[in-house]
Amino acid sequence: MPELPDIETYLHCLRPRVTGQPLERARLVSPFVLRTVEPPLAAAEGRRVRGLRRLGKRIVIQLEDELFLVLHLMIAGRLRFAAPGAAVPGKIGLLALDFPGGSLLLTEAGSRKRASLHVVRGEDALAAHDPGGLEVLEADLQRFRAALERENRTLKRALTDPRIVSGVGNAFSDEILHRGRLSPFKQTGRLSDEEWAALHRASREVLVEWTERLIREVGDGFPEKVTAFREGFAVHGRYKKPCPVCGAPVQRIVYAQKNDANYCARCQTGGRLLADRSLSRLLKSDWPRTLEELE
């Protein structure tokens, strides 16, 4: 799922292309992507774009008369910016928003269509789509700690819960925890003052660095390869590859059905291997406990 750095890069590229421009036409290819009826999508046509913003992992296009288009890409939704009136790609195409300078195309790979578009009027209606998570880049250490301490959760779950932290998902939570040298399964109620400071610092650093990097890489173009597996990640998507800090093989565990966490045992857990839900049950006493046993 596109996370804060990806969404901010989309917004950075969209602003010069559509701000101040009228939405000439909205071409709805898949009726399932539109999740609202009133106001109708047709009400957006002819209205100029007044601004764009991020709402958690959602992209918000603000039009005249307090009309908002709220796009949630979910896991496989992606945006393209093509020539004016460009055809919507077959099979994966969901929607086209036509502007004088080009067409914004919404696509989604896979058979399960989860991406969505909501049309809402007014700030109050827009606020209903905000999960309420803390904006890390706007929060000092005290606010950050208070938000994550409201519930005693594992750090991995706390960082990826949109009601607690805004815009962070599976990929960047792995990177944040590696940068902070913290176990993904450590409980928020058991962090020391030093660990809270490290987590806050790591969260800000990783999100800022990757947002700047993605914007720099795309240049004057438009994001073409938005993926959860990026060259330059420390641990996410790098199972068995060497940790860039210590060289130990990156570990991966699966928990809560299909959720996973990638980490370095040497940097984050003192060399201890975390128990994988399925394999540890299968291997029982043969499950390795440390990096030394694994080797």
The CATH number of whichever domain residue 72 belongs to comes to 3.20.190.10
Of the candidates 10, 82, 15, the residue with the CA atom closest to the CA atom of residue 50: 15
One domain, residues 115 and 148: no
**Residue 283 pLDDT > 50, yes or no?**
no
pLDDT tens-digit map of 205-238: 999 999 999 999 999 999 988 988 999 999 999 9
Q: What is the pLDDT of residue 113?
A: 84
Q: What is the pLDDT of residue 295?
A: 53
- Partners of 71 in the β-ladder: 59, 117
One domain, residues 157 and 266: yes
One domain, residues 73 and 205: no
One domain, residues 179 and 279: yes
pLDDT tens-digit map of 225-273: 898 899 999 999 999 999 999 999 999 998 866 689 999 999 999 999 9
- Global pTM reads 0.92
Q: What is the pLDDT of residue 90?
A: 87
Q: What is the pLDDT of residue 277?
A: 57
User: Residue 66 belongs to what domain range?
Assistant: 4-127
pLDDT tens-digit map of 144-178: 999 999 999 999 999 999 999 999 999 999 999 99
Domain boundary among 100, 127, 154: 127
One domain, residues 141 and 235: yes
pLDDT tens-digit map of 186-212: 999 999 999 999 999 999 999 999 999
One domain, residues 28 and 100: yes
One domain, residues 107 and 165: no
One domain, residues 141 and 55: no
One domain, residues 52 and 83: yes
Q: What is the pLDDT of residue 111?
A: 77
One domain, residues 123 and 146: no
Domain boundary among 109, 127, 145: 127
The full length of the chain comes to 295
One domain, residues 83 and 63: yes
CATH number of the domain enclosing 214: 1.10.8.50
The count of structural domains within the chain is: 2
Mean pLDDT for the stretch of residues 29-58 = 97
Domain boundary among 86, 109, 127: 127
Q: What is the pLDDT of residue 280?
A: 47
One domain, residues 176 and 224: yes
Q: What is the pLDDT of residue 112?
A: 82
pLDDT tens-digit map of 64-121: 999 999 999 999 999 999 999 999 998 899 999 999 999 999 999 987 889 999 999 9
Mean pLDDT for the stretch of residues 280-295 = 48
Q: What is the pLDDT of residue 225?
A: 87
